[in-house]
Structure 1
Amino acid sequence: MSYADHLRAALAEPDWVTLQRLAEIATRLGMSLYLVGGPVRDCLLHRAVTDLDLTTEGDALILARTAAHELGGTWKKFNRFGTAKLILPGRARFAPIDLATTRTETYARPGALPDVVRGTITTDLIRRDFTINALAIRLDGAQPGALIDRHRGEHDLRAGALRVLHARSFQDDPTRLFRGVRFEQRFNFAFTADTLQLIAPALPVINQISGDRIRHELELIWGEAQPWQALARLDELGILQSIEADLHVDDWIAVHFQAQPTRDDRFACWAWLTCRLSETSLTRFSQRVNLARAEAIDLEQVRALRAAADVLGRLNSRSSIYRALAEYHDRSLRVALTVIDQPAARAALELYLDQLRDVRPTLNGMRLQELGVSRGPMIGRILAEVQAAVLDGIIATPQQEEEYARQIMAREGREA
């Protein structure tokens, strides 16, 4: 079977047709066109290809604009890297097609974003992270379907080997460490011995990349079929500790990732990774990966709930459970249920979420003022006591609420 046949078998039929149309347009414009990187890798592994990453030795922006016009789509350009996203009808979920001009990259310092100049398909492939991604299939010209493999990437695919293309690869871009671990676990591959030796010297450079880039790489791990294995490997290689020294992965994390049906919940994944950190370590971690403030607050709530599980499990009234949990956000409470093992604490959380959180007395501050209570903190104290009585089943009707409030007012009057 030719590479073109492999590619056609790996693609949905509409995508195959789209590539043929794009190749025709590129040829008419006098441009080359290649499918590059991950899609070629997946094709050679006989996996379905859903991403379309294309590159041309011509001008990707002109190609994208022309294709959008002729094929009834839209496009968006990114001038810095000479790239574009092309959205065409017929693509599943309107997934964008990535179009790039072949380029050469240099790095002003370790961990920096690359400086880009136009290049050839040869220079474009050598800038890739691993040999298994330094592959291209030509789509235009006299030999469509020809494989371009300058770095024995197909050989490494067959061997299950992850190999960088040069010795400074991880130092130039430390996010390749995270990607390598993802590929290692996803494909059941292994770093080659020479590549493995390059990891430890690159760990300090992780400190020089932005929190946004680290967060993005971890969130890509959440999308893997077995994210706990990738996390364990990051731990084993010292990569996690380069982000936060107290972060470790053990069987507890693996069990919780495997047991939950909601691994597509990004917040839950963050919580499973971090809920056993100290408050100080969690704050430091959240800041390092630049989590949104709301997400950082809720992660701290999950951590605090887990730490307080013994106390929570000893609460013996509905009103005391309400008081303990009323300030926590629903997301925090629901995810806390997945990390708290004590049955009594879990029961308290479930009771609050299912029955207590929306319980409110019908009595309000305006009615208390009509009953003679002056505006001020007294109103809040009375309403809190009335609510507790409703929660505990001491009172049940609006009339009983008013009578209970009058009793509190009388008591407060005597104590004043």
Structure 2
Amino acid sequence: MDPDRWGDLIDHHNGLQDLCHKKIRVLHNQSFMDDPTRVFRAARYASRLSFEVEMTTKEALVRDLDGIRNLSGTRILNELNQIFGETNSGRALENLNKWGAFKVIHPQFDIPTMVFNTIENSISEEVSSDVVGLLALLYCSNNVIREEIGKRLRLSSSLHSKVSDLDRFQELLPGMKNSDIYEKLRGLSLESLHVARSMSSSANSGLSAQIDLYLNDLSQISMSVTGNDLLDMGIPEGAEMGRILSSIHKELLDGQVPSREEQVKLARKIFLGG
């Protein structure tokens, strides 16, 4: 240490100038070849700090994108998860898309621009940002491409199941009864529901409305009649009781038996074969 220069800034790489000009710059043009995860970090920090990637650095980044092929799926997913947790994650992901990073992960990894806003807008305390981010990125791909990308990223069985659930939204049709909407959507993760609702809000308002109906109304509806009530009526436990309760719930969802008395009457009618 030089006491005569105490407090002086020694800046051999003009870092202060880059800070002042809001530029991200690597120290040498082999940086992304040495560590391909720096591609994801460049996008993340540029988004977080509202910086731009300096031109020479961007050229090196794009030139060496193929290095991502050498990364394990686990490492790629970890870098993406860190981006999903950022406040401005959409901008970071959009940069990765513009640079061509997703095409290196899979040549048919096509992501419409609207996805990036969806990821930011779908984040809330009740859902996982990691799951929302991944599902949004994959939402517009067909199930074959999703499967291939899932294998590349080495998704856990839980994540793989949630990705597979995206196909369920294609089964929703205009004019469906409430009970049919409920049957198609029950059991799906909140993350998949939030993503599908956001992605369809402009292109398919009918689908978005059906998801809203399920989240805000249908999923909250419960029957007044219980299994104990059916036992008191002489209906034995087992598959028959389950079938009767399911039938009552279906009618309730469709607005047919709102009162307890009507539900009891329907249970007796079904049991007696009426």
TM-score, with length taken from structure 1: 0.55
In structure 2, the residue matched to 1:354 is 216
On the 8 A contact 1:390/1:396 being kept in 2, the answer is yes
Take 1:145 and 1:222, find their aligned partners in 2: how far apart are those partners?
39
1:175 to 31, 37, 47: 37
2:79 to 190, 194, 217: 217
1:192 to 55, 59, 68: 55
Is residue 2:170 matched to residue 1:307?
yes
In structure 1, the residue matched to 2:158 is 294
On the 8 A contact 1:386/1:404 being kept in 2, the answer is yes
Take 1:172 and 1:340, find their aligned partners in 2: how far apart are those partners?
41
Tell me the CA shift for residue 159 of structure 1: 5.8
In structure 2, the residue matched to 1:379 is 241
In structure 2, the residue matched to 1:241 is 103
User: 1:231-261 CA deviation, whole Å, 9 max, x = no partner?
Assistant: 2322232211122332233332245357x27
On the 8 A contact 1:163/1:191 being kept in 2, the answer is yes
User: 1:106-148 CA deviation, whole Å, 9 max, x = no partner?
Assistant: xxxxxxxxxxxxxxxxxxxxxxxxxxxxxxxx9xx66543323
Cα–Cα, structure 1 residues 157 and 403, in superposed 2: closer, same or farther, change >3 Å?
A: closer
Is residue 2:253 matched to residue 1:391?
yes
Identity %: 26
1:333 to 170, 187, 193: 193
Higher-helix-fraction structure: 2
Question: Which structure has the greater CA radius of gyration?
Answer: 1
Cα–Cα, structure 1 residues 326 and 181, in superposed 2: closer, same or farther, change >3 Å?
A: closer
Take 1:332 and 1:147, find their aligned partners in 2: how far apart are those partners?
50
Take 2:23 and 2:179, find their aligned partners in 1: how far apart are those partners?
59
In structure 2, the residue matched to 1:324 is 184
Take 1:286 and 1:401, find their aligned partners in 2: how far apart are those partners?
45
In structure 1, the residue matched to 2:148 is 284
Take 1:223 and 1:328, find their aligned partners in 2: how far apart are those partners?
22
Is residue 2:112 matched to residue 1:250?
yes
In structure 2, the residue matched to 1:145 is 7
Cα–Cα, structure 1 residues 401 and 249, in superposed 2: closer, same or farther, change >3 Å?
A: closer
On the 8 A contact 1:231/1:249 being kept in 2, the answer is no
Tell me the CA shift for residue 173 of structure 1: 0.6
Cα–Cα, structure 1 residues 242 and 209, in superposed 2: closer, same or farther, change >3 Å?
A: same
Cα–Cα, structure 1 residues 142 and 263, in superposed 2: closer, same or farther, change >3 Å?
A: farther
Take 2:43 and 2:249, find their aligned partners in 1: how far apart are those partners?
53
Higher-strand-fraction structure: 1
In structure 2, the residue matched to 1:7 is none
Structure 1: stretches of 5+ with no match in the other structure: 1-31, 33-137
User: 1:30-63 CA deviation, whole Å, 9 max, x = no partner?
Assistant: xx8xxxxxxxxxxxxxxxxxxxxxxxxxxxxxxx
Structure 2: stretches of 5+ with no match in the other structure: none
On the 8 A contact 1:240/1:247 being kept in 2, the answer is yes
Cα–Cα, structure 1 residues 206 and 331, in superposed 2: closer, same or farther, change >3 Å?
A: closer
1:335 maps to amino acid: V
3-state DSSP of counterpart to 1:147: coil
1:235 maps to amino acid: N
Q: How many residues align?
A: 268
TM-score, with length taken from structure 2: 0.79
Take 1:326 and 1:250, find their aligned partners in 2: how far apart are those partners?
28
1:289 maps to amino acid: L
Take 1:308 and 1:401, find their aligned partners in 2: how far apart are those partners?
29
Take 1:409 and 1:384, find their aligned partners in 2: how far apart are those partners?
13
1:328 maps to amino acid: L
Take 2:154 and 2:10, find their aligned partners in 1: how far apart are those partners?
39
In structure 2, the residue matched to 1:166 is 28
- Taking the TM superposition and a 5 Å limit, the aligned residue runs for 1:22-101 are none
1:392 maps to amino acid: D
3-state DSSP of counterpart to 1:276: coil
